[in-house]
Structure 1
Amino acid sequence: MTIATISLPLGKAIPEKPHAISVQIPTWSDMCGMGRGDIQIMEALRNGYPRTFIHKDVQELSRACQSRFLSSPGKILLFPDPKSAQACKSYIISSDIHKNEAISSKSVSIFAIETGESQPTIMHAGKPPGPTTIWAIAFPEESAKVGAQFWRLTGTGISSRLAENCLRDVESMQRVDRPVKRFYSAMSAVHPVYQTICARIAYLMERASTGTPRSLAVRPSDVFLYPSGMSAIYHVQQMLLKWRGLETVVIGFPYELTIKMVETYGPSFKFYSLGTDEQIDEFEIYLDTKARSGSMIQAVWCECPSNPLLYTVDLERIRKLADKYGFVLVVDETIGSFANVDVLGVADIVVTSLSKSFNGYADLLAGSVTLNPNYCYYGALKTCLKEDYTNNLYIDDAIQLERNSRNFLERAAKMNDTAECIVDYLSPFASDPSSVVNAVHYPKTGQSTQRYRSRMRQATDEFTPGYGCLFTVDFDTIDASRAFFDSLDVRKGPSLGANITLAQPYVQMVLQKEKKWAASHGLRETIVRVSVGLEDKHVVLQSVKNAHMMAEKTKGTHAL
């Protein structure tokens, strides 16, 4: 029995569905080319992660809008609400960010587009109240790269399902000065699917909690839904800037978003990207120095555990510092997931990419923000978040998300088991000097294991928590990494937490142009990240064994 995916061609959507959020990039060479932006690789893509590669339906709708509504050459980006479109305009014209390359405000326009009596692609009770409205931002072609960067780093663009729906009524599109309320926003107030998702998340956040009992439980009204995980992060940061407008500190986020986060999300960020004890010592000294001068920070962001090195920072210590110095602690638990870890004992705010394990089928983007009612800033944060909140999770995506997440715990259990089985096989090689395996990064192994375990939920008859679906293997040489990746018979592409196994040489694809920066933050270019799926664990394990055997054959051929 084999997974038989090595022959899957470059650029093929994975999974093979209309709204897939990953894409097959089958070889090490292809991944490097993708990271560099090589034209021949980019032109071969028929799909991609929607924030990085704009979905074909969104592209088609954008072209139709450009043809209909632009009198001169230019580009259009489409958003589900006017605030997101305005934020994109502010980014494009910002001289603080783009210096001399910034364009004038007069060259950028925002307008609403309505289609006729569109029906959602997934039918549900009741008729949608009126036409669909989306917002377009039009700008010169010279700013296309900058606009795409905003789309990628904020995750606020329209959904592929919304675009698909609009294309059904593309002939009825018209530019309007006074748009009506778009149907899916109005539906969000009455359609039960949103309440169902929020209630499910609230239940999972409180299920089998760790540590001492909490005074107050998370309610569905404490959960806010967004059209992507990055949109959830973006809106929380915007809310924090509105609330306090102070410095934000990032601890243990050593990945590509930190490079542009300062420019996109607002001023004044400080990074401790490895999150080691020594860095937290430095951070505490920094906090004390600021306090002595009468100043403070607004928030600290952490992951549990981190992507892609699966490291868990000392969240308990950071919580104590939050209480002492009066800042908010935001934790992204996407990698650990609602199933395995409970971060409400430390976090004021929990952000999650629902696109990953919660959804589980790699066919939509969604995100959530959960506010913890047990900390002192809860009331102020909830008031501030609600003031500007718009539910932009498209109704069709919400309905699909609710369906997909029904078996979340069942899927999480299987992926926990498969990943642990494979890591148990690989880990001994990391301590063997004769092996090409340099390290295996996984919450069960390494220096931060006890910190992760302190956040694990209690075991119940329903579910036994584990270490998640993700692990990262580091090899001694590029040759060994390449041999392992090219021989690994699984799907090759971005994203994680899907029902299918996905592998990616993380630095080669994500940080190809920033390798020195990545290395300075502990990310070697020899790492291969693997997210296991729901395939038979013995089949996946055998594929890993075969790939590992090929990697070992490179021993002594070339030094890194």
Structure 2
Amino acid sequence: MSPRDLLRNPCWQGEDLGHPLPDSTHAVSVALPRWRDVIAYEDNDPQCRSQLRAFYPRFALHPLVAEVAQQALAMLPTEMCSAGSSAWPYPNAAAAQLAQHHCQSQAPGASTQIVDQLGLSVLIANADASPHAKAFWQHAGLGASSRRAAISLNKEAAPAAASAEQAKALVIERLAAIYGCDTQQLSLHPSGMAALHTALQSVTALRPGRPTLQIGFPYVDVLKLPQVVFAGSELLLDSSSAAIEAALDRIDPAAVIVELPSNPLLQCMDLSTLSRLAHARGIPVIADDTIGSCLNIDPLPYADLIFSSLTKSFAGRGDVLAGALVVSPSSPWEQTFRDQRSRTGCIGLGDADAMALEQGSRDVQARVPQLNRHAQALAAQLSNHPEVARVYYPDQCANFRNLLRPNGGHGCLLSFELKGGSDQAQAVYDRLAVCKGPSLGTPFTLVCPYVLLAHYDELPWAKACGVPSHLLRVSVGLEQPEELWQRFERALSASSH
């Protein structure tokens, strides 16, 4: 059976619940086609969860990774596997040891061990350590990938080492050409969060024991990783120069972290001003350009470390987890950060994932401008619709425009609110004939009630930050813009009756 064509035949109805997005063994998204499916998923409803054939890999174990984990638990002597124990497969001992160290630091009396299972290093955590093992898995993004698990289980063949190295070199060269930097400035990682983990290791070595400062409403794990795994992080929603200066002087952070633009409000702060204020105090700046895309914006003159989830627009397929970290050649700490990376090493991208990433990104130079155009067209059409209260898209942000490369666009992501609030958002979501689930940058349009998925346990906090739970986030795909608009218009029109 051939894979489902999600551009023409999207997963949008109740019967599609749990379908992998894309229709692939290694899909990183899953269909949650109705509002009630999103709620059931967040409430851990067993009936909903049992129908899911894929997960975003950091938020739950992929079925193949879970199979390795179950085998590892089954191999343990009964006395070593107590009720509530869990298993977390990592690609190598170094990654598993980082997870184990986190568990030991958070729960000193808890029991953990690392076992070899089918060539993977599996962290076994008892009931006391399991919540911390789960948090590290989600926030750090260093876990074994589905492709690595498939190879361990003899369900897929391992690529030739020479072919994998060539793929990694091609990806690095591709990224270096886009960023306009030397290949030595770049490293590849198992996920965007793993790239941030490496960046935080670098700034922690430079400024030990200091928390970080995040400016602007955060993607959940960009804030949680430094808060939970490193020395803490404080969030500043006021991006005025006065507020930033006061926070820098009060906190004296290890680094400042910003998203370009923020998720899901798609706002961008004045990066040049932030850089000047931070550097005057000897503080590095870490930027996340995942949503803006390295093809569209250039933060290298201002940010010291740039991390990106290559899973999204760069790979463009939705079936590989990967990340990149760039040390800016303009950074005062360029040599320090490069030396630190060499000394400590980093958990690199797996061979099979590198092969998939290289293949997926071959058309990135043509595909991203197309996604830019389609998203800008949809944002304009939504802005003019009588049922839409507000559209969030970076073309309205002067600070984002200041970072644009020549011929750069504004990315594939937009968000919008409806005048009818939550009830109308639910009606539109249920009737919208596009794929519905987490992630972004896929060739098919992907919609989700982002705040429910990312902040379900802290909705009042998100609301207090100006981010309503009924906001709909859209990753615009490669469908014909007019045909895509007709799908949105039908859902909007039906919801107004």
How many percent identity over aligned positions? 30
CA distance 1:548–1:194, shift in 2 (3 Å): same
8 Å Cα contact 2:120-2:152 kept in structure 1: no
SS in 2 for 1:250: strand
Residue 35 of structure 2 is matched in structure 1 by: 28
The whole-number CA distance in structure 2 between the counterparts of 1:92 and 1:375 is 34
**In structure 2, what is the Cα distance between the partners aligned to 1:9 and 1:189?**
37
2:435 to 487, 491, 498: 491
Change over 3 Å in CA distance of 1:323–1:139 after alignment to 2? closer
Whichever residue aligns with residue 389 of structure 2, its letter is N
- The CA deviation at 1:154 is 0.8
Equivalences for residues 66-465 of structure 1 within 5 A: 66-72=73-79, 73=81, 74-95=85-106, 102=107, 104-105=109-110, 107-113=111-117, 115=118, 133-141=119-127, 143-168=129-154, 187=161, 191-206=165-180, 218-245=181-208, 246-257=210-221, 260-272=224-236, 274-277=237-240, 280-288=241-249, 296-429=252-385, 435-445=386-396, 449-459=397-407, 465=408
Distance change >3 Å, CA 258–CA 204, structure 1 → 2: closer
Aligned residue in 2 for 1:511: 455
Q: Please, which runs of 5 or more residues in structure 1 have no aligned partner?
A: 96-101, 116-132, 171-182, 207-217, 291-295, 430-434, 460-464, 554-560
Is the partner of 1:412 in helix, strand or coil? helix
CA 1:257 to 1:520, structure 2 compared with 1: closer, same or farther past 3 Å?
farther
Partner of 2:475: 531
TM-score when normalising by structure 1: 0.82
Task: Note if contact 1:49-1:494 (Cα within 8 Å) is conserved in structure 2.
Answer: yes
Residues 88, 123 of structure 2: 8 Å contact kept: yes
CA distance in 1, matches of 2:162, 2:204: 27
CA distance in 1 between counterparts of 2:342 and 2:494 reads 54
Deviations 1:174-214 (A, max 9, x none): xxxxxxxxx99x948982221111111010112xxxxxxxx
User: What is the CA deviation profile of residues 56-83 of structure 1, one whole-angstrom value per residue up to 9, with x for unaligned ones?
Assistant: 1111111122222444433221111222
SS at match of 1:512: helix
Over 3 Å counting, the alpha-carbon distance change for 1:268 and 1:21 in structure 2 is closer
Deviation at 1:383, TM superposition (A): 0.7
> Retained in 2: the 8 A contact 1:65–1:76?
yes
- Residues 370-415 of structure 1: CA distance to partner in whole angstroms, max 9, x if unpaired? 0011221101111112212235311111011011101002111211
1:468 matched to 2:411? The reply is yes
SS in 1 for 2:53: coil
Query: Against the structure 1 CA distance between its residues 407 and 33, is the aligned structure 2 distance closer, same or farther, given a 3 Å change threshold?
Result: same
Q: 1:523 to 1:53 in 2, by over 3 A?
A: same
Q: Which moved more, 1:309-318 or 1:236-245?
A: 236-245
Structure 1 pair 468/285, CA: closer, same or farther in 2 (3 Å)?
same
CA distance in 2, matches of 1:515, 1:299: 27
Q: Aligned partners of 2:138, 2:320: CA distance in 1, in Å?
A: 15
How many Å apart are 1:142 and its aligned residue?
5.2
Say how many residue pairs are matched.
Answer: 483
> Residue 179 of structure 1 aligns with which residue?
none
How far does residue 260 in structure 1 lie from its aligned partner after superposition? Answer: 3.3
* Moved segments of 4+, more than 6 Å: none
The residue that corresponds to 1:119 in the other structure is none
The one-letter code of the counterpart of 1:92 is C
Distance (whole Å) between structure 2 residues aligned to residue 419 and residue 104 of structure 1: 51
Residue 509 of structure 1, CA deviation: 2.2
Opposite residue 233 of structure 1, the aligned amino acid is L
For 1:258 and 1:21, how far apart are their aligned partners in 2?
18
Would the aligned equivalents of 2:193 and 2:221 in 1 still touch at CA under 8 Å?
no
Shift of 1:169: 8.3
Residues 340 and 312 from structure 1, CA distance in 2 versus in 1: closer, same or farther, beyond 3 angstroms?
same
State whether structure 2 residue 495 is matched by structure 1 residue 551.
yes
Please give the alpha-carbon distance, in whole angstroms, between the structure 2 residues aligned to 1:23 and 1:368.
Answer: 24
Instruction: Provide closer, same or farther for how the CA distance between residues 533 and 169 of structure 1 changes in structure 2, counting only shifts above 3 A.
Output: closer
- The structural deviation recorded for 1:258 is 5.8
2:205 corresponds to which letter in structure 1? K
Separation in 1 of the partners of 2:34 and 2:195?
32
Work out whether residues 219 and 262 of structure 2, in 8 Å CA contact, stay in contact via their aligned partners in 1: no
User: Residue 3 of structure 1 contacts residue 539 of structure 1 at CA under 8 Å; is this kept in 2?
Assistant: no
Name the structure 2 match of 1:65.
Answer: 72
- Would the alpha carbon gap of residues 275 and 316 (structure 1) be closer, same or farther in structure 2, given more than 3 Å must change? farther
Deviation for aligned residue 1:288: 4.2
Residue from 10, 22, 25 that aligns with 1:15: 22
Distance 2:470 2:232 in 1: 32
The one-letter amino acid paired with 1:158 is: A
Residue 12 of structure 2 is matched in structure 1 by 6
C-alpha contact 2:211 2:254 (8 A) present in aligned 1:
yes
Normalising by structure 2, we get a TM-score of 0.92
Q: Which amino acid aligns with 1:254?
A: P
Q: Distance in 1 between matches of 2:378 and 2:61?
A: 34
What RMSD over aligned residues (CA atoms) do the two structures have, in Å?
A: 2.3
Partner SS state of residue 339, structure 1: coil
CA separation of 1:533 and 1:3: change in aligned 2, threshold 3 A? same
Counterparts in 2 of 1:199 and 1:236: CA distance versus 1, 3 Å: same
Most deviating of 188-197 and 135-144: 188-197
Distance of aligned partners of 1:147 and 1:356 in 2 relative to their CA distance in 1, 3 Å threshold: same
Would the aligned equivalents of 2:136 and 2:229 in 1 still touch at CA under 8 Å? no
1:285-305 superposed Cα distances (whole Å, 9 cap, x missing partner):
233457xxxxx3321110111
Q: Deviations over 1:121-145 (max 9, x none)?
A: xxxxxxxxxxxx3212112245434
Q: Quick one: structure 1 residues 94 and 428, their matched pair in 2 at CA, closer, same or farther if it must change by over 3 Å? A: same
